[in-house]
Amino acid sequence: MPEAPPPPAATAPGPAGPPPGAFDWTEGEARRRAAAGLVRVLRPRPADSGLLDLASNDYLGLTRHPAVTAAAAEAARVWGAGSTGSRLVTGTTELHTGLERELADFCGFEAALVFSSGYAANLAVLTALTAPGSLLLSDAGNHASIVDGCRLSRARTEVVPHADPEAVAKALGGREPGARALLITDAVFSVDGDAAPLNAFAAACRAHGAALVADDAHGLGVLGDGGRGALHAAGLAGDPDVVATLTLSKSLGSQGGAVLGPARVIEHLVNAARTFVFDTGLAPAAVGGALAALKLLRAEPGLAERARTVAAALHGRLTEAGLTAARPDAAVVSVRAPSPERAVRWAADCRAAGLAVGCFRPPSVPDGVSRLRLTARADLTPEQIDTAVRTVLDTAP
């Protein structure tokens, strides 16, 4: 029998290439965003950019008000730059509880609880007031913080058509007997600036023993008697089955968020809301600034009406000139653009001409329609309104 051939000589392995990078996949995502025209870019602004600002949410023009900035600086001097811990440990100061009392009293609710952001406030309500098996209804036009809160809640979430009380009533009628039910809606929607039908929503909820939660981020300071908000305007503030969330970063010109509602709901959040229990308390400077802004709003109730008047003027003049704009219910004026690319170009041309405006495009808008978003401010002069209108028209695609 012939001998078997010897095994081939072993060869030394060649140099190994670098292992694939753990985040190499981000390059593909970046290419996808670029191809779709959806690249987001941070643009740091100087303290005084020189732009006429219709892009921020400073509806009452209070973020630079001397009384607000002085109160923020004094709070930092007295209490320190940070709150030093969670609200249940060292993060609650006398300023925090004072702001909570003022917010509840001003808006007409029994109690309030301050959070580090409006985003955290929405997450708190949606995760702590529901449970597995609960039915959670969310308006199709709701803000991303509400969408994320629904995802984290572990409740059975149904997205209902925008501003449709009949759809809400139908969904509530089909829930499991005995299950908790809650409807969450923006009080004023941030894209088109339209107000939710809060009274019809409340009636549908009450007919089925459900709670109503409304995010009044864009209503506080603009709607209601003296700016007390959309729920106050609807006569629902303080009702035992109604809860409000809001931000301190829009009309109050500061930072942070809050939940307002029955005292027993607020007590439950103190014990059960993870974004309250485990988050560092809002910085004292932000609390002090918000408290000063709230006192200014009390002293100057005409600020709210002025913001609405400016919004109506912007809308009227732009539509009279042939643009398509949603009629504002509060301080947001939404102007339609032909395409995402043209919306981006339009906003850039406005900026080059000295006007800052917002630009909304898919996927940030649920209906797929691109827009410029103009925010009215109570402190805009007639000359500034003229400039804004002229710039938007001159740069229109």
Q: Annotated active-site positions, please? A: 190, 218, 250
Other beta carbons less than 10 A from residue 142's beta carbon = 23
Nearest to 63, CA basis, from 305, 285, 246: 285
Helix, coil or strand: residue 14: coil
Structure tokens at 38: 């959806």
H-helix segments, the chain? 25-36, 66-79, 94-107, 118-128, 144-153, 165-173, 198-207, 230-233, 263-272, 274-277, 284-299, 302-320, 340-352, 382-394
End-to-end Cα spacing for the chain = 89
Beta bridge partners of 53: 356
Residue given tokens 């985003």 in the structure block:
119
Q: How far apart, in whole angstroms, are the C-alpha atoms of residue 348 and residue 355?
A: 9
For residue 216, report the phi and psi dihedrals to the nearest 5 degrees.
Answer: -100, 30
Written as one letter, the residue type at 144 is A
Structure tokens at 347: 């906003």
Structure tokens at 294: 């709230």
For residue 105, report the phi and psi dihedrals to the nearest 5 degrees.
Answer: -65, -45
Written as one letter, the residue type at 244 is A
- Please enumerate in sequence order all residues whose Cβ is within 8 A of that of 103, keeping only pairs 6 or more positions apart, or say none: 109, 112, 114, 258, 260, 294
